[in-house]
A and B are shown apart, each in its own frame.
Chain A
Amino acid sequence: MQALRAELIWGLLLIPAAAAGGCFLIRPNAPRRALLVLAALGHAALTLCAWSGAVRPTAYGWIAIDAASLLFLSVTSILFLAASIYAVGYLAQEQRQLQSAPREPDLDEEPPFTNYPEATFTGCLLAFLATMSLVAVSRHLGLMWVAVEATTLASAPLIYFHRNSRSLEATWKYLVICSVGIALALLGNFFLAVAARSYGGTPIPLTLDDLAAAAGSLDPRWLKGAFLLLLVGYGTKMGLAPLHTWLPDAHSEAPSVVSALLSGALLNCAFLTILRVHGLLVAAGLGAFSRELLVDFGLISMTVAAVFLIRQADYKRMLAYSSIEHMGILALGVGIGGLAGLGALLHTVNHSLTKAMLFFAAGNILAVYRTKSTDQARGVLRVLPLTGVLWIAGFLAITGSPPFGPFLSEFMILKGAIDAHRPWIAAACLAALALAFIGMAGAVINMAYGTAAPGAAQRLDLSPIVPQREPLWSILPPLALGLAVLILGVYIPPPLGDLLRRAAEILHVQ
């Protein structure tokens, strides 16, 4: 396979960035939405090209695509493509609803609210894609830090799309907590730089390759301190408990498109940064230390999420806690290593696709029922048949039922735990998963099959209860994602399997 030109990487970064700039300049809505989809398509096309051959690194080795980058980049790209199609319809729908006269207040939100200008929304979406791509392809830890901070800043306006007090509160919490976390990560980077000082010689630059080559001569104390700080800092972005407090608020108040991207793509990118540092520690011989920390954080996240999932009254918050749980599973998988590590990488793909599908379905439900309460939004299968099917399928997938993808990856993690002679961890993991299943099942099944509460039906004028119109843009993306998850549950295509194995090797998670 011949090496592809390095311009491919620049294209991956600059196409969304330029499109973001264009969004701010284009006045009418329709061309701007077209630009969004075009940029997503371009990004996806370039990512597809990267599958076909090795890409030469560029920018003095600071930016390159290796197997791990390609994995996370592909997931991000697919998700963004689906999200862009969904967003076009969503924005049009929001515009119609704002323009049409009496805006009925949401059942439990204040009346009435205005939306952010669409230009800011679309522009920030594309900037978000650009910064996430930068996180995936950067090989210099400082650049990675800058990119992760940039994702926080690019996504904050997205959460505030519905300009009401709740989303404002969520945005503020997101900003402050993530900024503090990232500041700690910067301190961790400095610790790493100190560890990389070969006494008397020239300091080692903070690129992954140079650090890995000199891994033996890094000061272990400083390296451990750096890992702890980076885990706490980037773990805040990833949503590991107890640093997760911004996640439920941000995911529930943001528009569903944004929640899907946050859950599916952003948490993954934060995970990638942690993986890179973990790989460094393994290369330096301190793998046991980092693995233990990852296992601890993973178990705490799973437990906290499982507890909060029970009797959750807001279905978007429920999905957010489910994300926290799955991030815990990822950390746990990597912490155990071996087969579990490979399973964790597969799980990133499965979780992202499933969670995005669930959030899109939730967005459809929200659009019709105009409430986020699990009590009020009932009878989804009758009102929105296709969405209801997707909702139930997504629930089954995310809680780990066969034949969907997450079952396979979670099974790999559990088997890896048992293979590594840690049956108690596997037991704890299973218990948490069971709790999560119970918690979510109650809410999801009530929503899908229950009859709408009498008051709700009158207010929403859903009587007689007839199936509502489900536009294509709201069904196609989640359906495509769901099919992908279903396929991944029974058959992993060889290129994907090969990529996963290569990524696991690079990241030292095996």
Chain B
Amino acid sequence: MKVWLDAVLVLLILTNLRLLGSARLTVCIRTVAAQAVLLGVLPLFVQAGAVTFRVALLCAASTLLKAGALPWLLRRAAREANVRNEVEPLVGFTTSLLLGLALLGLSMHVADGLRLPGIEGPHFMVTVALFTTLVGLFVIVSRVKAVMQALGYLAMENGIYAFGMAFAVEETLLVEMGILLDVFVAVLVMGITIHHISREFDHMDTDRLSALKD
């Protein structure tokens, strides 16, 4: 069981690195969807055996939303904007990959400081959760296309969700559903805004949105 858990966590790290190192939008969207699927099956490995109805419902709902509906939304937004071009980010891809490794080291360091007895699942999960969150933040800051920023936000949410899972945070079903709904509506609104951005301007580059400044 531990091997499978380790494998899933390593796959999560690989998806993050792929997100950092990939040039094409469709690849990145699929990577974030894969992250959501991996996170969806993670609770089944963590709570070895005690899979309650609530856990199963949450897994299914979050996987459906984050791996199905949201990528579909973003893909539609990207398609309507006719963006399939390779993205030239503010930080090059090789540099992003190496920075990603640095972020992994940072999250390992921070996770070491957060050792707490009673964590469900291996301690490695905290590292991976923090790493995913940091990668999401980095993608938002360093990428130029609006869809990539929405993907970075999704990756951040994935990471925070994994963090909550690592510590088996006992939020009630209602609040967790609320969080899920919020993420869904947030990406919906982002998708609509991206659609407007691509219609209003000819591009989807947020670093060219600089008319408002002091």
A: which residues have CB within 8 A of B?
Answer: 140, 142-143, 145-146, 149-150, 152-153, 156-157, 160, 163-166, 168-173, 175-176, 179-180, 183, 186-187, 190, 193-194, 197, 199-200, 203, 206, 219, 222, 248-249, 252-253, 308, 312, 317
Contact A168 B153 (CB under 8 A): no
Decide yes or no: A165 and B182 within 8 Å by CB, A160-B196, A187-B133, A194-B167 being known contacts.
no
Interface members, chain B 166-214 (any A CB < 8 Å)? 167, 169-172, 175, 178-179, 181-182, 185-186, 189-190, 193, 196-197, 200-201, 206, 209-212, 214
Contact B182 A146 (CB under 8 A): yes
Decide yes or no: A166 and B212 within 8 Å by CB, A183-B153, A194-B169 being known contacts.
yes
Contact B189 A180 (CB under 8 A): no
CA A164 – CA B200 in complex, angstroms? 8
Contact B189 A156 (CB under 8 A): yes
Minimal Cβ-Cβ distance residue in B for A109 = B211
Contact A180 B153 (CB under 8 A): yes
Contacts of B170 in A (CB 8 A): 193, 203
Minimal Cβ-Cβ distance residue in A for B186 = A179
The interface centre, meaning the residue of A146, A156, A253 with most chain B CB atoms within 10 A of its CB, is A146
Contact A193 B171 (CB under 8 A): yes
Total residue contacts A-B, CB cutoff 8 A = 112
Minimal Cβ-Cβ distance residue in B for A202 = B170
Q: Can you give 18 A-B contacts (C-beta < 8 A)?
A: A140-B175, A142-B172, A149-B182, A150-B182, A152-B186, A153-B182, A168-B193, A172-B146, A176-B149, A179-B190, A180-B153, A186-B160, A187-B160, A193-B169, A194-B169, A200-B118, A253-B212, A312-B214
CA A163 – CA B171 in complex, angstroms? 40
Set A149, A175, A183: member contacting B156, Cβ < 8 A: A183
Set B163, B185, B201, B214: member contacting A248, Cβ < 8 A: B214
Contact A172 B175 (CB under 8 A): no
Decide yes or no: A183 and B185 within 8 Å by CB, A142-B175, A253-B212 being known contacts.
no
Contact A153 B185 (CB under 8 A): yes
Set A152, A157, A169: member contacting B209, Cβ < 8 A: A169
The binding surface of chain B is classed by DSSP as helix
Contacts of B153 in A (CB 8 A): 176, 179-180, 183
Contacts of A197 in B (CB 8 A): 118
Report B65 CB to chain A, min CB distance, Å: 15
CA A187 – CA B136 in complex, angstroms? 13
Set B117, B171, B190: member contacting A206, Cβ < 8 A: B171
Contact A170 B118 (CB under 8 A): no
Count contacts on B: residues with CB < 8 A to the other chain: 39
In the complex, the 9 A-B pairs of residues with the closest C-beta atoms, listed nearest first: A142-B175, A146-B178, A169-B209, A149-B182, A193-B169, A249-B212, A203-B170, A183-B156, A190-B164
Report A422 CB to chain B, min CB distance, Å: 31
The reply on B140 being an interface residue by CB < 8 A is yes
Decide yes or no: A199 and B117 within 8 Å by CB, A149-B186, A168-B196 being known contacts.
yes
Contact A186 B186 (CB under 8 A): no
Contact B182 A142 (CB under 8 A): no
Decide yes or no: A180 and B137 within 8 Å by CB, A172-B206, A193-B171 being known contacts.
yes
CA A120 – CA B146 in complex, angstroms? 24
Report B207 CB to chain A, min CB distance, Å: 11
CA A203 – CA B170 in complex, angstroms? 7
The reply on B116 being an interface residue by CB < 8 A is yes
Contact A165 B214 (CB under 8 A): no
Contacts of A152 in B (CB 8 A): 186
CA A168 – CA B192 in complex, angstroms? 11
Question: Per-position contact with A for B138-162: 1 when CB-CB < 8 Å, else 0?
Answer: 0010000010010001001100100
Contact B201 A156 (CB under 8 A): no
Report B133 CB to chain A, min CB distance, Å: 7
Contacts of B156 in A (CB 8 A): 180, 183
Contact A153 B186 (CB under 8 A): yes
Report A340 CB to chain B, min CB distance, Å: 30
Minimal Cβ-Cβ distance residue in A for B192 = A157
Contact B200 A165 (CB under 8 A): yes
Contact A169 B212 (CB under 8 A): yes
CA A200 – CA B117 in complex, angstroms? 10
* Known contacts A143-B175, A186-B160, then 17 further A-B pairs from the complex at CB < 8 Å, ordered by chain A residue: A143-B178, A152-B186, A153-B185, A153-B186, A169-B212, A172-B146, A172-B209, A175-B186, A176-B206, A183-B156, A190-B169, A194-B116, A199-B118, A206-B171, A248-B212, A249-B212, A308-B214
Contacts of A206 in B (CB 8 A): 171
